[in-house]
Structure 1
């Protein structure tokens, strides 16, 4: 699936690069969107696989929400079918809930949600609602332990890059006939990961499985040409 995602991304870029430059149009083959995106992850523990660090029963975690700028690039294979990829980098912290409420588990992690969706656009006149589905992989970058994790001897943290699926629904609203428009988009990801915590000797002292399953909500402007 990783090769499929990378190939789709490269293919979309190649198609866009090969598309001749032309004036904006509501019937253009390429659409670029500049969006404000809210990333709302879950982050709760679904399995405690290694607890040498000594988490108490009833321990739980959650990740904070974030709002980031996003660029989406879309190629229309026909009036009703398109392929879209997005680019954004979102930063999060993970805190304790339940028996460890207030604990600082991860102080910092960057997530790159590489996603490609195949979209179907409904014929509803000028306003263009759509649905989509596609594979995604979350890349985790620059993970740093929180103060509580460090105090318990966890000097290194790592999140596993994992594949998942994204479901998508949204609407494009043209503003005139020059290719400009507004876009509203919602994606629901089904994504999990594992957190690995190691001590200074390199021994893994905590392994937990987490459900992220974020909602990713976007709104912004578009240009089709």
Structure 2
């Protein structure tokens, strides 16, 4: 009987009018913890290591985003975060372990559709564009011990982004947010060692799940 009553109360709470109804003109600010998990595909390191390649590590970081609601259902979200990733050798250069590291700044702008702006539980989907900047890229000690002092540069990337998420009201203004994104990121790493230049193409294409809190203004 208690279980039936509890389930009924939960159903009523979900179905009842929301305390924090989202509407045109609202600004939603979220602070989230994200995991950037590359699903990378990498080519070989040419011309010096034709049987060697690389993989890119996951990274955990804080993220802040801002959504402006143009209508009750349509909003635009700007996502800001930066993460650091290790680049590991694979194949014939796997014994080197990490060969480099880099910081990644991928500002992303999406257009969202919010399915139930007047509900306490508000799912949404979004699609947009991403511009990824790679900075402070460095060769590892193991790589430089093997081939000499090396300068590492990664080409910036422009691609698309997809997302899905849900906001769940906690108070009149504060809500829990769950979100997942797929971001199209393709880059070319250039390793310059004296007069020798090696290159490798990498499609990072990370999946980015996140959880956090938001506030409606």
Q: TM-score, normalised by structure 1?
A: 0.80
Q: Which secondary structure does the structure 1 equivalent of 2:39 belong to?
A: coil
Q: Superposition RMSD on alpha carbons, in Å?
A: 1.9
Tell me the equivalent position of 2:33.
36
Are the counterparts in 2 of residues 26 and 224 from structure 1 also a CA contact under 8 Å? no
Q: Which residues of structure 2 form unaligned runs of 5+?
A: 1-18
2:120 is equivalent to residue 126 of structure 1: yes
Displacement of 1:79 in angstroms is 1.0
Displacement of 1:117 in angstroms is 0.4
Displacement of 1:56 in angstroms is 4.3
2:202 is equivalent to residue 210 of structure 1: yes
Task: State the aligned residue count.
Answer: 195
Q: Which secondary structure does the structure 2 equivalent of 1:149 belong to?
A: helix
Displacement of 1:111 in angstroms is 0.3
Q: TM-score, normalised by structure 2?
A: 0.83
Query: 4+ residue stretches of structure 1 with deviation over 4 A?
Result: none
2:177 is equivalent to residue 183 of structure 1: yes
2:21 is equivalent to residue 26 of structure 1: yes
2:153 is equivalent to residue 158 of structure 1: yes
CA distance in 1, matches of 2:30, 2:95: 38
Are the counterparts in 1 of residues 21 and 120 from structure 2 also a CA contact under 8 Å? no
Q: Which residues of structure 1 form unaligned runs of 5+?
A: 1-23
Displacement of 1:47 in angstroms is 5.7
Displacement of 1:101 in angstroms is 2.0
Tell me the alpha carbon deviations over residues 164-214 of structure 1, each in whole angstroms, 9 at most, x when there is no partner: 1111001011113x21000000000111100001123xx352011111000
Tell me the alpha carbon deviations over residues 3-49 of structure 1, each in whole angstroms, 9 at most, x when there is no partner: xxxxxxxxxxxxxxxxxxxxx9533610000101101113431365x
> After alignment, is 105-114 or 189-198 more displaced?
105-114
Structure 1 residues 138 and 89: CA distance shift in structure 2, 3 A: same
Tell me the equivalent position of 1:194.
188
Are the counterparts in 1 of residues 20 and 169 from structure 2 also a CA contact under 8 Å? no
Q: Which is higher, the Rg of structure 1 or of structure 2? A: 2
CA distance in 2, matches of 1:154, 1:122: 54
Displacement of 1:163 in angstroms is 0.2
2:90 is equivalent to residue 93 of structure 1: no
